[in-house]
Amino acid sequence: MKTTLILVRHGYSVSNDQKYFTGNLDIHLTELGKRQAEKCAEYLKDFPIEFIYSSDLSRAMDTARPISRLLNLPVHPDSSLREINAGEWEGVPFTELEKRFPASYRTWKENIGLAECDGGESAKAFSERIIKGVSAIADRHPGKTVLITTHATPIRVLCTVANRLPIEKMAEIPWVSNASINIFEYDSGSFSLIKKDVTSHLGDMKTGLPKNV
């Protein structure tokens, strides 16, 4: 039985604005990010959403709350939906990462599917966590429509899998925008991509595609 999964990347965050690697740091949305989240809620209000899950990090929970209020549904926080644990990279400006971790950070930028964050997760281990976590949610609600607010790299992982590519080829899949809407179908352990990086609801509030996280 097919489950519809609507994945929303969190809105524009403080770390997006200040240009440092966030990973598992608990960062809030900017005022722009909060407005983006409100626009997501307006766009999604007529979808037959029955359950809402979110990464337990604040920027994802902040994105889920306007949708939760509008649909009168609780948000279920789930740590398996978190962004990659980036270890020593977290909180470091992108320009500084290039100096401190030249080889490993270059792999992240150029061939992310083979990357391993110094002191953190590898892309492979992270991808396994995301696929397992999202699959568990889908298996819990067969035939339903489920909203998930999460982060850029988890959505990139699912797009890679839905395109029938190995995680090692994730660099072939573009990033998605802040507060973008991405729709998947899940059936018997398999993901299919229906719509990717929908941003029409944002108008002039769209923020650029991330080069990093």
Asked whether residue 169 carries a pLDDT value surpassing 70, the answer given is yes
Query: What value does the mean pLDDT take over residues 149-164?
Result: 98
Query: Would you place residue 211 in the very low, low, confident or very high pLDDT band (cuts 50, 70, 90)?
Result: low
* 83 given a catalytic annotation: yes
Query: What value does the mean pLDDT take over residues 27-45?
Result: 98
pLDDT at 208: 72
User: What tens digit of pLDDT does each residue of 132-156 get?
Assistant: 999 999 999 999 999 999 999 999 9
The structure tokens 């002191």 sit at 119
pLDDT at 188: 94
CB count in 10 Å sphere of residue 1 = 9
Query: What value does the mean pLDDT take over residues 196-203?
Result: 97
User: Which DSSP letter does residue 116 get?
Assistant: B
Domains in the chain, please, with CATH? 3-205 (3.40.50.1240)
The beta strands (E) that lie in the chain are given as 3-9, 51-54, 75-77, 145-150, 181-187, 190-198
**Packed helices 123-140 and 152-162: angle between N→C axes, nearest 10 degrees:** 80
**Which position among 38, 83, 90, 121 bears the catalytic label?**
83
Query: Would you place residue 175 in the very low, low, confident or very high pLDDT band (cuts 50, 70, 90)?
Result: very high
User: What tens digit of pLDDT does each residue of 88-143 get?
Assistant: 999 999 999 999 999 999 999 999 999 999 999 999 999 999 999 999 999 999 99
Amino acid (one-letter) located at 58: S
Cβ distance 141 to 50 under 8 Å? yes
pTM of the model: 0.96
Residues 34, 60: Cα–Cα separation, whole Å: 11
Query: What value does the mean pLDDT take over residues 43-67?
Result: 98
**Which position among 10, 90, 121, 151 bears the catalytic label?**
10
pLDDT at 212: 67
* 10 given a catalytic annotation: yes
